[in-house]
Amino acid sequence: MAEKKKGGFINRLIMGTEKSEGYAPSTLPSNRWELFWDIFKGRFGKLFFINILVLLFCLLVAFLMLILNNAMSLYGSESVFSQNIGIGYPAIHDMSGLVEQIDLVVKQQLYLALPICLMVAAVGISGGAYVIRNMVWTEGIFVANDFWKGVKQNYFVVMFTLLIFSLIFYLVQISIGYANLLIATGAGSKVWLTIGKGFSYAFLAFSFICAAWMITMGVTYDLKFRQLIKNAVIFSFALLPMNIFFLFLGAIPFLLFLFGGIGTMIGVILCALLGFSWFLLIWTDYSQWAFDKFINDRVPGAQKNRGIYEKVSKDDAEAIKKYREQLAQSSRTVLTRRPIKPITDDELQLAELPQSYSRADLQRLQESREALYRDNEEYIAAHKDDPQYQPTEEEKQFEAEREARKEQARKELEASMKKELKKKKKKEDK
């Protein structure tokens, strides 16, 4: 009776079920989409646990956003935003741009705390990205241990990445705030300011994509920080349509906050359960596909298609089949073409030495060996022309090709030796 698995429901929820080390490669997913759904369905408990760990370290960012929203409400409750009271008379002479000005001031002050919040969030992101990467590679994981191992290895890469992004985020938000203020007060061209806002949002989204690439690259490869920036920019531009698609797909739980009301409630629930793990899994799986396609062939020692089973193409299958046939023919040439006498004839037997033996006993042993050898040679000579011991046409062709290769190798060796001798003679003559 097999030993009962310990730990119960909670342990299985946290640790999940690992694959046995004896699994067949063909049981692995054959592409990245299959791998994603395999992880999502089979390791949901671990994804939940990873999400909780990442969420704990991202609470400061969420708290900062909450303070920002409440600050806007507080300023709004203390200010009159209507220019008239309904009878055509302004409450205050001119309040154009007051809302935008308050928004700008609040952001200028509160977003200064964003780098500190992101330095804390970097702990959760570095650990979570590392564990998710190992999941995508279908490696056995222990969430808690691997999480802190990922923090130790990747924290500074993730931290500096987020600090750079926080600076860009701050500058973009402030520039958008100034644009809104100028539009509200009529101090600038509304068309050009609106176009500028569009470019600012696009640049912010592009910066976020670059940051995501830097994190996954930093977790996967040992690169200098400037190389991370360079490669991230290249991947962000080169794969822009796919980047936008997978960014949108991964950000769905967070985009629900934009709808307010019930959308916000659903977003809060999804983010608490799976939001961060969902994004990390989608982006890591996608980035590993990109690394296999564009990087791993150029990196010495890098493993390709980790976590998936690459099915053999028809041409490759035919090549493998031919190789196996040639191998079998080579083995037959050596082992099975020579007749072997069956061990059914007990006319001849090897002499046995007594416990105390003499010279005559040794001579009888030697004579019995020679008799067995002669008998086997006579059997070979009698049966060497039997049909089952004759080479097939394929074997003859294989032998001819092998001899041709041997002859070609011999000629190349002779030519090389002659060339070396000529060089040596020239040196001696000089």
pLDDT digits (tens, 9 = 90+) for 44-101: 889 999 999 999 999 999 888 888 777 666 555 455 444 444 444 444 444 566 777 7
Per the structure block, which two tokens stand in for 4? 């009962």
Establish if 221 belongs to a structural domain. yes
Report phi then psi at 358, rounded to 5.
-115, 180
What is the per-residue pLDDT for 368? 79
The whole-angstrom separation of Cα 39 and Cα 29 is: 10
Q: Which residue has the higher pLDDT, 143 or 391?
A: 143
The whole-angstrom separation of Cα 13 and Cα 262 is: 29
Question: pLDDT averaged over the chain?
Answer: 79
What residue numbers bound the domain in which 17 lies? 10-80+95-298
Residue partners of 331: CB distance under 8 A and separation at least 6: none
Establish if 36 belongs to a structural domain. yes
Domain count, the chain: 1
Establish if 395 belongs to a structural domain. no
Count of positions (residues) in the chain: 430
Q: How far is CA 393 from CA 42, 50, 60, 329, 390, in A?
A: 52, 62, 77, 11, 10
pLDDT digits (tens, 9 = 90+) for 229-248: 999 999 999 999 999 999 99
Establish if 124 belongs to a structural domain. yes
Establish if 383 belongs to a structural domain. no
Q: Residue 359 pLDDT > 60, yes or no?
A: yes
Establish if 328 belongs to a structural domain. no
Cα end-to-end distance, the chain, whole Å: 85
Establish if 20 belongs to a structural domain. yes
Establish if 88 belongs to a structural domain. no
Task: Write down the pTM of the prediction.
Answer: 0.64
